[in-house]
Chains A and B, each alone.
Chain A
């Protein structure tokens, strides 16, 4: 690769070839700066979300409604997709269908080439990240400019996104300044000289850099948060106004939308516009939401296209238990609450969908052939915090276990010759036997207390262990067994109170 490129090159290699999660996690954990950035950012957003959600008396009702609406759509997808296509067409939009990423990219490239434009401005969109549209456009001689601030930081930094909502969450302000100073001038309006690392000034530099691109743009590419079947409307939820610029100023607008994004009715927005902002940016409402229904006479793009993509979603849909993952509205609450994500960040997941929901969606959508996709369902402690925060009530922890068994089944189907027993079910069975009777439990606890006391003389944790325990211990340090059991503690501290 030489400097022939139109836009900054992403890092070399394909995401699907990423190493297994434990290997990638070890690599990412070595980046102390990133760990500090992630710790600060996830803590901040977690607290804010708890506050924004705490204001709502009917939060659980809203979640139940959101989950039910999405389930209704998924279970009756054909009729809602037909209705969506008919409504969009009536509103003057052209609807295209794409079975996979290559088909979707081909459609978008053809549409851009028909306009004669050699560049597009882009609204932040997970669907276009997923199909790697930017690189496909680049190969066809079309420059794709990311306009969301975090996506701009990622693109100019020759980097990959590490979070659904805040793709540059792994970068701090001084890293952002360095990227802007080094790269902005190569691709358009340079930053003001002497740029410091105050986020206000960094945002101002982004405004200056992108303004000329917005004003001259003839084609925009977006995704959509929701596609409304009865009115034929698309919805984009955003903060900065870059979305509004892209959706309003160009003559041509191409929106790439997953088939699971449909909502039956305009009224359903009252549920999702309460759930999404509080779950994602932890605000009562995001600064800007744009809703448009095809081409509106005298206002905005008149050449309007919607590309509906499958790209593996029907594989997830075919699993009656697994299909609830397709309810996901990409809010990121499960990433922000996850103790694993907080430590390793998004790059370890080898996909544009990181965190707990990514650990389910990637093997569902991409299949379980790659090393990284096989490892992802195990990238969790199953603490269940993600299930608690999910605004559409996806049982994330249950689905992680479900996908683990799918991975094991897939491996079993391949290894018909050598048969290694899978350790987890055997250990769970043994655990159930011990816990079923209090005498067995007390005997087992006496053994762990003793080992805890003995180990305590030598070390404060357990590191590497021989097979089969190495399967667990290679990626995790384990605390020494406690020297006092909960039952002992209860007897010593609470037994008397109980008698009162």
Chain B
């Protein structure tokens, strides 16, 4: 007997007491999925988003769409980056104001981990923002690039549009399902890399980018 059929047999024997009815009828789940979270007590949704991203010690700036190239140049300067990698799908106009920064647009074949490790920063768009938790989700579509791009360089400049920010986790999960069904991975980012492993005191900056610089654009960029 294969390991699988042996385990399945053990499970069926273990569950002999369970009636043979559909799972959803056997155990109802008292929860309505995909609802918006009421943040009215905390403030306006974008303000809550900014406050909670900053709570993780990330930097957040807000700007009108027309000023985005300047905001990106400022972000690279503020984090001390002189080189940056960008995914192939990123709008090249966004980089037009960053004089003096050496940009690498990643095409095939991909950069090796060691090559990525020699680049200071990465600039990407994003998929969804979650106000209640201060989370930014990447669905790794063309303007966000593969996962390693936003991981190995030490500074992540990430752009999010005001209309991409939702109230809470339930709305975000509902929006992200199509990307998962398309086979794309997701990365949820809440602040820079951190650890609480030493005496449970929080320290920012371990293996992931130690600087998270968020640009919230008034209209969709």
B-contacting residues of A (Cβ < 8 Å)? 37, 40-41, 44-45, 61-62, 64-65, 68-69, 71-72, 75-81, 91, 96-99, 103, 147-150, 153, 166, 168-169, 171-173, 176, 199-200, 202-204, 206-207, 210-211, 214-216, 231, 233, 239-242, 244-245, 247-249, 259, 264, 266-267, 269-271, 273-274, 277, 281, 283-294, 296-300, 308, 310, 314-315, 317-318, 320, 323
Instruction: Point out the residues of chain A lying under 8 angstroms from B66, CB to CB.
Output: none
Considering the chains assembled together, what is the distance between the CA atoms of A242 and B208 in angstroms?
7
Indicate whether B61 reaches chain A with its CB closer than 8 angstroms: no
Residues of A within 8 A of B126 (CB): none
Given the known inter-chain contacts A72-B24, A78-B8, A172-B199, please indicate yes or no for A240 contacting B208, CB distance below 8 A: yes
Residues of B115-137 contacting chain A, CB below 8 A: 117, 130, 132-135
Beta-carbon contact of A199 and B203 below 8 Å: yes
Partner of B147, one of A40, A41, A103, A244: A244
With a cutoff of 8 Å between Cβ atoms, the chain B residues found around residue A288 in the complex are 187-190, 193, 208
B174–A287 CB distance below 8 A: no
Contact-residue size bin, chain B (C-beta under 8 Å from the other chain):
35 or more
Taking a contact as CB atoms under 8 Å apart, the answer to whether B199 and A41 are in contact is yes
The contact of B180 among A245, A266, A270, by CB within 8 Å, is A266
A267-B33, A283-B190 known; 11 new pairs, CB 8 Å cut-off, are A44-B200, A72-B27, A97-B2, A99-B7, A241-B151, A266-B173, A284-B132, A285-B188, A289-B188, A294-B183, A314-B10
Tell me the complex Cα distance, A210–B177, Å.
Answer: 34
Bound complex: CA A341 to CA B151 (Å): 36
> Given A68-B30, A259-B7, are A75 and B15 also a contact pair (CB < 8 Å)?
yes
A168 and B190 contact, Cβ closer than 8 Å, known pairs A284-B132, A317-B15 = no
Q: Could you tell me the distance in whole angstroms from the C-beta of A278 to the nearest C-beta in chain B?
A: 9
**Smallest CB–CB gap between A390 and chain B, Å?**
17
In the complex, chain B residues whose CB is within 8 Å of the CB of A215: 113-114, 117
Contacts of A171 in B (CB 8 A): 198
Say whether B208 contacts A244, CB under 8 Å. Answer: yes
* Cα–Cα distance between A371 and B189 once the two chains are bound (Å): 45
Nearest CB in chain B: distance from A333 CB, A? 14
Bound: A153/B195 CA distance, A: 13
How far apart sit A216 and B112, CA to CA, in the bound complex (Å)? 10
B206: Cβ under 8 A from any A Cβ: yes
Q: Establish whether residues A149 and B206, one from each chain, have CB atoms under 8 Å apart when the complex forms.
A: yes
B12 at the interface (CB under 8 A from A): yes
Please determine whether A267 and B207 come into contact, CB atoms closer than 8 angstroms. Answer: no
| Contact A241 to B7, CB < 8 A, known contacts A300-B146, A318-B13 | no
Contact with A along B15-40 (1 / 0, CB 8 A): 10110000110111111011000000
The answer to the question of B11 belonging to the interface, with a C-beta cut-off of 8 Å to chain A, is yes
Smallest beta-carbon distance A388→chain B, Å:
19
Least Cβ distance of B50 to chain A in Å? Answer: 14
User: What are 5 A-B interface contacts by the 8 Å CB criterion?
Assistant: A203-B203, A240-B207, A259-B7, A273-B173, A284-B52
A88 to B21, CA, bound (A): 26
Bound complex: CA A214 to CA B114 (Å): 10
A97→B201 contact, CB < 8 A: no
In the bound complex, do residue B7 and residue A293 qualify as a contact, i.e. CB atoms below 8 Å apart? no
